[in-house]
Amino acid sequence: MGWMHTARFLTTAAQLHHLPDITVPEIAFVGRSNAGKSTCINTLTQQKQLAFASKKPGRTQHINLFALGKQGVTDAVLADLPGYGYAAVSRSDKQRWQQVMVNYLRSRQGLTGIVLLCDPRLGLTELDEALLEAVRPRVEDGLKFLVLLTKADKLTRAEQAKVLSITRLQAGGGEVKMFSALKKQGVDEVAQLLWQWSHPVGGAAPAEAPAEGAEAGEPSAPIEPSEPN
Ligand SMILES: Nc1nc2c(ncn2[C@@H]2O[C@H](COP(=O)(O)OP(=O)(O)OP(=O)(O)O)[C@@H](O)[C@H]2O)c(=O)[nH]1
Ligand SMILES: [Mg+2]
Protein backbone atom coordinates (compact mmCIF):
# COMPACT_ATOMS: atom_id res chain seq x y z
CA MET A 1 0.00 0.00 0.00
CA GLY A 2 1.51 3.31 -1.09
CA TRP A 3 0.54 5.06 2.12
CA MET A 4 2.76 2.74 4.17
CA HIS A 5 5.73 3.42 1.92
CA THR A 6 5.68 7.11 2.89
CA ALA A 7 7.08 6.20 6.32
CA ARG A 8 9.91 8.40 7.55
CA PHE A 9 11.81 8.61 10.80
CA LEU A 10 10.26 11.07 13.22
CA THR A 11 12.03 10.77 16.54
CA THR A 12 13.50 8.46 19.14
CA ALA A 13 13.04 8.60 22.92
CA ALA A 14 14.26 6.57 25.88
CA GLN A 15 11.58 7.89 28.17
CA LEU A 16 7.91 8.69 27.85
CA HIS A 17 8.14 12.36 28.68
CA HIS A 18 10.62 12.79 25.82
CA LEU A 19 8.03 11.70 23.28
CA PRO A 20 6.41 14.54 21.36
CA ASP A 21 2.67 15.12 21.69
CA ILE A 22 1.10 13.68 18.59
CA THR A 23 -2.25 14.82 17.24
CA VAL A 24 -2.67 12.04 14.66
CA PRO A 25 -3.44 8.36 15.38
CA GLU A 26 -0.47 6.42 16.75
CA ILE A 27 -0.08 2.66 16.30
CA ALA A 28 2.33 0.79 18.56
CA PHE A 29 4.25 -2.38 17.69
CA VAL A 30 4.87 -4.34 20.88
CA GLY A 31 5.94 -7.85 21.81
CA ARG A 32 8.75 -10.00 23.10
CA SER A 33 12.28 -9.25 22.08
CA ASN A 34 13.13 -10.90 18.77
CA ALA A 35 9.43 -11.36 17.83
CA GLY A 36 10.01 -9.41 14.61
CA LYS A 37 8.61 -5.94 15.38
CA SER A 38 11.28 -3.91 13.60
CA THR A 39 11.35 -6.32 10.66
CA CYS A 40 7.57 -6.07 10.38
CA ILE A 41 7.74 -2.26 10.22
CA ASN A 42 10.47 -2.43 7.58
CA THR A 43 8.42 -4.91 5.54
CA LEU A 44 5.19 -2.93 5.75
CA THR A 45 6.96 0.30 4.81
CA GLN A 46 9.20 -1.41 2.23
CA GLN A 47 12.26 0.23 3.75
CA LYS A 48 15.05 -2.11 4.68
CA GLN A 49 16.63 -0.01 7.41
CA LEU A 50 13.88 2.23 8.73
CA ALA A 51 13.60 0.33 12.01
CA PHE A 52 16.67 -1.49 13.24
CA ALA A 53 16.21 -5.25 13.08
CA SER A 54 18.74 -7.73 14.36
CA LYS A 55 19.44 -11.38 15.06
CA LYS A 56 20.58 -10.24 18.48
CA PRO A 57 17.62 -9.78 20.82
CA GLY A 58 17.28 -6.42 22.52
CA ARG A 59 18.26 -4.45 19.42
CA THR A 60 15.59 -1.79 19.84
CA GLN A 61 16.20 0.11 23.05
CA HIS A 62 14.23 3.27 22.48
CA ILE A 63 10.71 4.11 21.42
CA ASN A 64 11.15 5.02 17.77
CA LEU A 65 8.42 6.94 15.99
CA PHE A 66 7.86 6.93 12.23
CA ALA A 67 5.53 9.33 10.44
CA LEU A 68 3.17 8.24 7.68
CA GLY A 69 1.39 10.45 5.20
CA LYS A 70 1.48 11.72 1.66
CA GLN A 71 3.10 14.96 0.49
CA GLY A 72 4.90 15.19 3.81
CA VAL A 73 1.61 15.64 5.70
CA THR A 74 1.64 13.25 8.64
CA ASP A 75 -1.68 11.50 9.16
CA ALA A 76 -0.50 8.62 11.37
CA VAL A 77 2.51 7.53 13.39
CA LEU A 78 3.99 4.08 13.94
CA ALA A 79 5.82 3.39 17.20
CA ASP A 80 8.47 0.65 17.35
CA LEU A 81 8.91 -0.37 20.97
CA PRO A 82 11.74 -2.29 22.59
CA GLY A 83 10.88 -5.91 23.21
CA TYR A 84 10.41 -7.50 26.60
CA GLY A 85 11.41 -10.90 27.94
CA TYR A 86 15.04 -10.73 26.88
CA ALA A 87 16.87 -12.94 29.39
CA ALA A 88 20.23 -11.15 29.26
CA VAL A 89 18.79 -7.86 30.50
CA SER A 90 19.25 -7.15 34.20
CA ARG A 91 16.27 -7.46 36.49
CA SER A 92 16.18 -3.75 37.28
CA ASP A 93 16.37 -2.81 33.60
CA LYS A 94 13.55 -5.24 32.85
CA GLN A 95 11.36 -3.76 35.54
CA ARG A 96 12.14 -0.22 34.48
CA TRP A 97 11.28 -1.03 30.90
CA GLN A 98 8.09 -2.89 31.76
CA GLN A 99 6.97 0.15 33.73
CA VAL A 100 7.75 2.49 30.83
CA MET A 101 5.81 0.29 28.47
CA VAL A 102 2.79 -0.17 30.68
CA ASN A 103 2.70 3.60 31.26
CA TYR A 104 3.00 4.17 27.53
CA LEU A 105 0.19 1.76 26.70
CA ARG A 106 -2.07 3.06 29.45
CA SER A 107 -1.52 6.77 29.10
CA ARG A 108 -0.24 7.64 25.63
CA GLN A 109 -2.59 10.19 24.11
CA GLY A 110 -3.53 9.46 20.52
CA LEU A 111 -2.74 5.76 20.81
CA THR A 112 -5.26 4.28 18.41
CA GLY A 113 -4.07 0.74 17.94
CA ILE A 114 -1.67 -1.89 19.20
CA VAL A 115 -0.06 -4.62 17.12
CA LEU A 116 1.17 -7.34 19.46
CA LEU A 117 3.74 -9.43 17.62
CA CYS A 118 4.30 -12.96 18.72
CA ASP A 119 6.50 -15.82 17.52
CA PRO A 120 3.95 -18.60 16.92
CA ARG A 121 6.50 -21.20 18.00
CA LEU A 122 6.35 -19.67 21.49
CA GLY A 123 2.71 -18.62 21.45
CA LEU A 124 1.37 -15.92 23.75
CA THR A 125 3.56 -16.03 26.84
CA GLU A 126 2.91 -14.80 30.36
CA LEU A 127 4.41 -11.41 29.51
CA ASP A 128 2.14 -11.07 26.47
CA GLU A 129 -0.86 -11.97 28.62
CA ALA A 130 0.21 -9.35 31.18
CA LEU A 131 0.35 -6.78 28.41
CA LEU A 132 -3.11 -7.80 27.17
CA GLU A 133 -4.37 -7.39 30.72
CA ALA A 134 -2.75 -3.94 31.07
CA VAL A 135 -4.46 -2.60 27.95
CA ARG A 136 -7.81 -4.30 28.47
CA PRO A 137 -9.54 -1.14 29.82
CA ARG A 138 -8.42 0.85 26.78
CA VAL A 139 -9.44 -1.92 24.39
CA GLU A 140 -12.87 -1.90 26.01
CA ASP A 141 -12.84 1.86 25.35
CA GLY A 142 -12.23 1.36 21.64
CA LEU A 143 -8.45 0.93 21.30
CA LYS A 144 -7.80 -1.31 18.29
CA PHE A 145 -5.88 -4.50 18.80
CA LEU A 146 -4.22 -7.06 16.53
CA VAL A 147 -2.16 -10.10 17.47
CA LEU A 148 0.28 -10.75 14.64
CA LEU A 149 1.90 -14.18 14.53
CA THR A 150 5.24 -13.58 12.84
CA LYS A 151 7.74 -15.81 11.01
CA ALA A 152 4.89 -17.81 9.46
CA ASP A 153 7.45 -19.13 6.96
CA LYS A 154 8.80 -21.34 9.75
CA LEU A 155 5.48 -23.22 10.02
CA THR A 156 3.57 -25.54 7.72
CA ARG A 157 0.05 -24.58 6.64
CA ALA A 158 -1.40 -27.06 9.14
CA GLU A 159 0.72 -25.64 11.98
CA GLN A 160 -0.36 -22.12 11.02
CA ALA A 161 -4.04 -23.08 11.14
CA LYS A 162 -3.60 -24.71 14.54
CA VAL A 163 -1.70 -21.85 16.15
CA LEU A 164 -4.18 -19.34 14.70
CA SER A 165 -7.13 -21.03 16.37
CA ILE A 166 -5.32 -21.47 19.71
CA THR A 167 -4.19 -17.83 19.74
CA ARG A 168 -7.70 -16.62 18.81
CA LEU A 169 -9.01 -18.39 21.89
CA GLN A 170 -6.25 -16.89 24.05
CA ALA A 171 -6.83 -13.42 22.63
CA GLY A 172 -10.45 -13.58 23.74
CA GLY A 173 -11.91 -13.14 20.28
CA GLY A 174 -9.52 -10.34 19.34
CA GLU A 175 -8.14 -10.15 15.83
CA VAL A 176 -5.25 -12.53 15.04
CA LYS A 177 -3.33 -12.78 11.75
CA MET A 178 -0.33 -14.64 10.37
CA PHE A 179 2.62 -12.68 8.99
CA SER A 180 5.88 -13.46 7.29
CA ALA A 181 8.39 -10.77 6.39
CA LEU A 182 10.33 -13.38 4.44
CA LYS A 183 7.42 -14.52 2.28
CA LYS A 184 5.55 -11.19 2.41
CA GLN A 185 2.57 -13.05 3.85
CA GLY A 186 -0.13 -10.86 5.39
CA VAL A 187 1.56 -7.61 4.33
CA ASP A 188 -1.35 -6.14 2.35
CA GLU A 189 -3.93 -7.21 4.94
CA VAL A 190 -2.03 -5.59 7.80
CA ALA A 191 -1.38 -2.42 5.78
CA GLN A 192 -5.10 -2.23 4.96
CA LEU A 193 -6.06 -2.73 8.61
CA LEU A 194 -3.67 -0.03 9.85
CA TRP A 195 -5.08 2.35 7.24
CA GLN A 196 -8.59 1.61 8.50
CA TRP A 197 -7.53 2.17 12.11
CA SER A 198 -6.06 5.56 11.26
CA HIS A 199 -8.80 6.70 8.85
CA PRO A 200 -12.05 5.50 10.42
CA VAL A 201 -14.36 8.23 9.06
CA GLY A 202 -17.61 6.74 7.82
CA GLY A 203 -15.88 3.48 7.07
CA ALA A 204 -15.35 4.72 3.49
CA ALA A 205 -11.63 5.27 3.83
CA PRO A 206 -10.36 1.86 2.72
CA ALA A 207 -11.65 2.45 -0.80
CA GLU A 208 -9.47 5.55 -0.97
CA ALA A 209 -6.39 3.65 0.04
CA PRO A 210 -4.02 3.85 -2.90
CA ALA A 211 -3.48 0.55 -4.62
CA GLU A 212 -0.17 -1.26 -4.51
CA GLY A 213 2.20 0.20 -7.07
CA ALA A 214 0.05 3.28 -7.63
CA GLU A 215 2.99 5.47 -6.79
CA ALA A 216 5.67 3.89 -8.85
CA GLY A 217 8.18 6.49 -9.88
CA GLU A 218 7.45 8.82 -7.00
CA PRO A 219 10.57 9.60 -4.99
CA SER A 220 10.51 7.95 -1.61
CA ALA A 221 10.82 9.98 1.57
CA PRO A 222 14.37 10.58 2.78
CA ILE A 223 15.45 8.04 5.36
CA GLU A 224 17.20 9.41 8.39
CA PRO A 225 19.11 7.38 10.95
CA SER A 226 16.58 5.78 13.25
CA GLU A 227 18.67 5.17 16.34
CA PRO A 228 21.71 6.64 17.98
CA ASN A 229 23.28 3.26 18.83
N1 LIG B 1 12.23 -16.34 9.01
C2 LIG B 1 11.82 -15.15 9.43
N3 LIG B 1 12.61 -14.42 10.27
C4 LIG B 1 12.15 -13.23 10.69
C5 LIG B 1 10.89 -12.72 10.30
N6 LIG B 1 10.70 -11.51 10.91
C7 LIG B 1 11.82 -11.29 11.64
N8 LIG B 1 12.69 -12.31 11.53
C9 LIG B 1 14.03 -12.41 12.17
O10 LIG B 1 13.87 -12.36 13.58
C11 LIG B 1 14.97 -11.66 14.18
C12 LIG B 1 14.46 -10.54 15.07
O13 LIG B 1 13.82 -9.55 14.29
P14 LIG B 1 13.62 -8.05 14.81
O15 LIG B 1 12.69 -7.40 13.82
O16 LIG B 1 14.89 -7.38 15.10
O17 LIG B 1 12.82 -8.32 16.19
P18 LIG B 1 12.31 -7.26 17.25
O19 LIG B 1 10.99 -7.77 17.74
O20 LIG B 1 12.31 -5.87 16.69
O21 LIG B 1 13.39 -7.41 18.42
P22 LIG B 1 13.80 -6.35 19.59
O23 LIG B 1 14.14 -5.05 18.94
O24 LIG B 1 14.92 -7.03 20.29
O25 LIG B 1 12.61 -6.23 20.48
C26 LIG B 1 15.83 -11.18 13.02
O27 LIG B 1 16.88 -12.09 12.85
C28 LIG B 1 14.89 -11.21 11.83
O29 LIG B 1 15.54 -11.40 10.60
C30 LIG B 1 10.09 -13.51 9.39
O31 LIG B 1 8.97 -13.16 9.00
N32 LIG B 1 10.62 -14.71 9.01
MG1 LIG C 1 13.22 -4.17 17.32
Ligand 1 atom nearest to 152, measured from its CA = 31
The pLDDT of residue 219: 39
- Lowest-pLDDT range of 64-78, 86-100, 153-167, 211-225: 211-225
Average pLDDT, the chain: 85
Query: Pocket around ligand 1: residues whose beta carbon is below 6 Å from it?
Result: 31, 33-39, 53-55, 57-60, 82-83, 150-151, 153-154, 180-182
| CB burial string 11-38: b at 16+ within 10 A, e below | bbeeeeeebeebeebbbbbbbbbbbbbb
Q: Ranked by mean pLDDT, which of 25-29, 104-108, 172-176 comes out on top? A: 25-29
Q: Probe ligand 1: pick from 42, 54, 184, max atoms within 8 Å of CB? A: 54
Between the CA of 54 and the centroid of ligand 2 the distance, in Å, is: 7
Rounded Cα–Cα distance for residues 174 and 55 (Å): 29
The pLDDT of residue 172 is above 50: yes
Sign of the four-CA dihedral 148, 103, 54, 227: positive
Residue 205 pLDDT > 70, yes or no? no
Choosing from 12, 30, 38, 39 the residue with most ligand 1 atoms within 8 A of its CB, the one to mutate for a pocket test is 39
Pocket test for ligand 1, best of 34, 37, 64 (most atoms within 8 A of CB): 34
Q: Is the pTM of this model over 0.75?
A: yes
CATH number of 4-198: 3.40.50.300
**Nearest alpha carbon, ligand 1 atom 8:** 36
